[in-house]
Amino acid sequence: MQHTLKIGLFGIGLDAYWEQFAGLKERLEGYLTTVQNKLAAVHPHIVNAGLVDTPEKAFEAGSQFRREEVDLIFLYVTTYALSSTVLPVVQRAKVPVIILNLAPEAAIDYAAFNQMTDRTQMTGEWLAYCSACPVPEIANVFNRTGITFHQITGMLHDDPECWQEVTEWVEAARVAHTMSYNRLGLMGHYYSGMLDIYSDLTQQYATFGGHIELLEVDELADLRKQVTDEQIQKRVQHFQASFDVQPDCPPDELARSARTSVALDALVERYQLGSLAYFYKGTGNFDNEDTISSIILGNSLLTARGIPVAGEYEVKNAQAMKIMDSFGAGGSFTEYYALDFKADVVLMGHDGPGHLAIAEGKTKVRPLGVYHGKVGRGLSVEMSVKNGPVTLLSVVEKAGGKLMLLVAEGESVPGPILEIGNTNSRYKFSIGARKFVNRWNSYGPAHHCAVGVGHIRSKLEKLGQLLHLEVVDVC
């Protein structure tokens, strides 16, 4: 499902000014064009409704935004304008709105301004700088009419902080848009007794949108039977190129994993999946057990190409991984492994698939004689997340069923890991390992979370505001 994020833009002014102050309207329209060009450099699909200066134009702009199905509106305040020329636009569009309170320059040239001899001309010049004037009025009306809004105050030019904030809002809107159309596959069933991961699927729809497709392992097992020897051979070659396959990996296990990997791709294509959560015991059914015990390499490849896969049927974490990946940060499945009090780090990782694109070096493939706590044996991946800044994200289901986002920023640091054929990394946090663990756990997340590269807390906070989700920053 290919859908394009669309950004709405409009400026505001007061039509009574245009006859009074020559050139003011054209000047403000020039500012609006500058904003459009800057926005287009961030995201090309801009719907510009122009300078709205009457209630009639406001209704037209709101209808245009509805027809064009914009996902987010930037309201650029160019000068004073009546709130009656703003409200109809936002009411009819019914999407989040960002108020751009941007001055054309850092300051008015007071000396040059005060040397002007025509006071009408002086007033026109002042009006070209008074973008801050109507913002309280707009905020008042939005609050009283139940419209959530966000503000960016800064300068039209030479203000990197301001335009970084604009970029983050666009990126957050793009991720919200991605989630709203994402097709999440759920294959198998919950890990019996792992109560923290049980989730209300309807609440996932209510929060993120998208579609959830319930899948049977039997279908994947049947697709495996249709895989040809040639496809298996090509996929094994792909494994050799993508992974650091260890010498003790049996060829028959590589072939078994290759068969499942090809079948997984066919399943993803059949249902147009954008993410997947799975778990299945497979006991007593050879085909199903053979399928599930050979799934890790294929799921790792899917995760690396933007279709994150969460084990243990962890629905909430599949959503967290998709969010992280949509921000370009990766999003690998992880949980606590151990605490290293000597180095003041938290060891985190997980069995099953890993995100190859955010690995430190090439991901190793190792054979395991047993999958701990699960049925079967086979090949698994061992990797560490790239050294440098990282962000952890958990989609938390609170008491009462509402969702929230739990976020922490830290560093992936070098050092020894447990070479047990799992994903495994060492994370250092500004508040120390002990405080991090206590704070993180105090919010009651499930024991899984998603880890991605880079510090993206501010982007996640904006996503939370767009989705009306509480966001808690641990550190």
pLDDT tens string 127-160: 989 999 999 999 999 999 999 999 999 999 999 9
Report, in angstroms and rounded to the nearest whole number, the Rg of the chain calculated over CA atoms.
27
CATH of domain 7-179: 3.40.50.10940
Residue 455: the pLDDT is: 98
Residue range 458-466: mean pLDDT, rounded: 98
Q: How far from 39 is each of 7, 86, 456, CA to CA, in Å?
A: 9, 20, 20
pLDDT tens string 37-66: 999 999 999 999 999 999 999 999 999 999
Residue range 444-471: mean pLDDT, rounded: 97
Count helices and strands (H / E) in the chain: 17, 19
Residue 354: the pLDDT is: 85
pLDDT tens string 270-298: 999 999 999 998 777 889 999 999 999 99
Rounded CA-CA distance 256/236 in Å is 9
pTM: 0.95
pLDDT tens string 66-90: 999 999 999 999 999 999 999 999 9
Residue range 393-405: mean pLDDT, rounded: 96
CB 363 within 8 A of CB 354: yes
Q: Where are the domains of the chain?
A: 7-179, 182-473
Q: Is 33 helix (H, G, I), strand (E, B) or coil?
A: helix
**For the purposes of burial, counting CB atoms within 10 Å of the CB of 7, is it exposed (0-12), middle (13-18) or buried (19 or more)?**
buried
pLDDT tens string 341-381: 999 999 998 877 889 999 999 999 998 866 666 666 889 89
Give residue 417's pLDDT band: very low, low, confident or very high (50, 70, 90): confident
Residue 324: the pLDDT is: 97
Average predicted confidence (pLDDT) for the chain: 94
Residue 372: the pLDDT is: 64
**CATH for 182-473 (3.20.14, 3.40.50, 3.60.21, 1.25.40):** 3.20.14
Which residues, in sequence order, are bridge partners of residue 452?
330, 391
Q: CA angle, 255 as apex, 252 and 261 as ends, to 5°?
A: 145
